[in-house]
A = this chain, B = another copy of it.
Amino acid sequence: MLQVLISAGAAVIGLIGVGFLIRGILKMSSGNELMQEISKTIQEGAKTFLHREYKVVAILVVVVAIFLSLAPFIVQGALVNWQTAIAFVIGVFCSALAGWIGMSIATRANAKTTQAARQGLRSALNVSFSGGAVTGLSVVCVAFLGLIGVFLLFKGKPIIINGYAMGASLMALFARAGGGIFTKGADMGADLVGKVEAGIPEDDPRNPAVIADNVGDNVGDVAGLGADLLESYVESIIATLAIAASIAVISLTYLPFYLAAWGILASLIGVGWVKMARSKDPQTTLTRGTYISAALMIAGSFFIIKYLGSAYGNYSILGPFWAIIAGVLSGLIIGEVSVYYTSSKYKPTKELAISSQTGPAVLVVNGLALGMLSTLIPIVVIAAATLIGFFFAGMYGVAMAALGMLSILGITLAVDSYGPVADNAGGIAEMAHLPPEVRQVTDKLDTVGNTTAAIGKGFAIGSAAFATLGLITAYRVTIGDVSLSLADPKLMAGLLIGGMVPYLYGALLARGVGKVAFQVVEEVRRQFKEIPGLLKGKAKADSSRCVDMAARGALRNMMLPGILAIVFPISIGFALGPIALGGFLVGSLVVGLPLGIQTANTGAALDNAKKYIEEGNLGGKGSPAHKAGVIGDTVGDPLKDTVGPSINILIKLMSVISLVLAPIFVVLH
């Protein structure tokens, strides 16, 4: 156990780093009074929403915790009990805490980035990246410390510890779904009336929904993304622990802790490098920082595995090392593929933009096709990494590949979360009527932010697939490794039904966004009509009503899909048994993976195609191509920011619930 305690040291060092970053951000200036006021409003909006979201989740957490505690009384002999419930609650708490820290700092860093942009690109990048790094590092450090706590508390019993992952997963589901509906409902609502009907530019302070849009960036893309990846991170470690327990070689249980600890330090070094770097191109700086961490991770894991690992079965001591390499490289490749398909620097999105000249319908069809096409390489890479992991280290290797991919989450998440900060900073520059050269700097940061967001989405989906693969393997081990053969019609029925759930879930979320957007549209129209002088800039918009509306709509519309995601696997497990449930999980993974990649890349490519036109290509702003581009972007928005990301969580959550409850289904069937 001492070994586990030592690895906690890395997380503590990481948190000290977070402290320094926060201090650095807080002492920066937030600019003039107007900027401070706007930033404050966004802060308040985000805080209020998270408060309400956490309250709703709290009720559900109590229900689930009671259910887990009572499980041994309902189903005799099931190994789930009050300890699982405690681990579960700790998991929820850690996720909520990390989300809160990230959001609090991101909503403060936005105006400070705008202010720093007055001194040039480099300082603005520095502040916004620090904001992102706080999210990235606090997510991994809090998650890792929580896991260590639970591990020590329950003496490493896998079935209990799984509860921790389930807690992180449940929180992530609502953070992603709620945040996703909020952010896109507000965004679409703002655009549909502001840009399309009233003809005022994006981020114009006259539009009452603009603040809600900025709040959405923080609750969706910072808190939501953080919770999503925190879950993947925890699950990749948990899956390794569960499999290690079945192999019963003790050093294999400690290995994931050492590797994760080293991953935190590698990320910290990468973050430090980015902050020191003096390159002029933000994209290059961020990419190099990530690659440095990746290289450190690979090098370090060689020594860790060589000196602290063990050979087992037919596998050599270095087996897990090859799995780690496969995982780290997969993550990088998937990110690069996302960039290729969605950046207007490359052919696919350029061609997509050109097709907007034939009108919005052709653009949307081509956008959907682009997303579908972009599934090829990531899925082949994931399949290959699975085979490599298994070849070198068996089931343990598959889980190790997942761990490898997520080990440097500290820096990859830092890079992803910098985007929304830069996006907000641009919004504040616009709303505070700052000179155009400031906006130019924030625009440049924002463009890079779009690319890193694409990488982040690719990474989130890829890591979700890996984490789920690990969980499914752990599930198989937990139900006693009975043969899950395709010859069993229950397995086949499970596969088919599991494959339908991501569609059902995605449909409910997309409809949720539509409903919220509709309400926001009505409210903005009402304010334009009823507040005299608003459109002329002589009166102030009532932005808090729009925030409130988006918040309420998001909370209402996340409930049904959220509960479905919990109830579905439980019903299948009870009704058709653990074998059908195994098929169900695999089915949802097999469908969720391409659907997640497609929606993310379709949306990002449509967004960037529009931006490409706005840069003056194909007729520029106001041209027919641009009008088509705006429609395409609006179609892509809920796909990339609500449906796609939530599907990651869906497949993970259903797997972790099944893993936790597997002992019950085994007893019953």
Contact = CB atoms under 8 A, between A and B. Distances in A.
A390 B496 contact: no
Contacts of A508: 369, 373
A60 interface: no
Contacts of A631: 359-361, 631
Contacts of A359: 192, 196, 631, 634
A403 interface: no
A490 interface: yes
Complex copy number for this chain: 2
Interface in A166-208: 188, 192, 196
B481 A365 contact: no
Given A487-B484, A489-B398, A490-B387, A499 B360 contact: no
B511 A369 contact: yes
Interface stretch (A134-142, A238-246, A375-383, A538-546): A375-383
B365 A593 contact: no
A521 interface: yes
Contact of A590 (B384, B485, B499): B499
Contact of A366 (B490, B510, B587, B591): B510
Contacts of A390: 489
A531 interface: no
Contacts of A496: 379, 382-383, 386, 465, 589-590, 593
A579 to B, nearest CB: 10
Interface of A is mostly: helix
Given A487-B483, A496-B383, A497-B380, A507 B192 contact: no
Interface stretch (A125-133, A255-263, A420-428, A512-520): A512-520
A582 B491 CA distance: 14
Contact of A503 (B472, B506, B594): B594
Contacts of A587: 590
A333 to B, nearest CB: 15
Given A368-B639, A372-B507, A380-B500, 12 more contacts: A358-B518, A358-B521, A364-B635, A366-B510, A366-B514, A369-B508, A371-B507, A375-B500, A476-B486, A486-B582, A499-B594, A631-B631
Q: Which 4 residue pairs of A and B lie closest in terms of their CB atoms, listed nearest first?
A: A361-B634, A372-B507, A390-B489, A383-B493
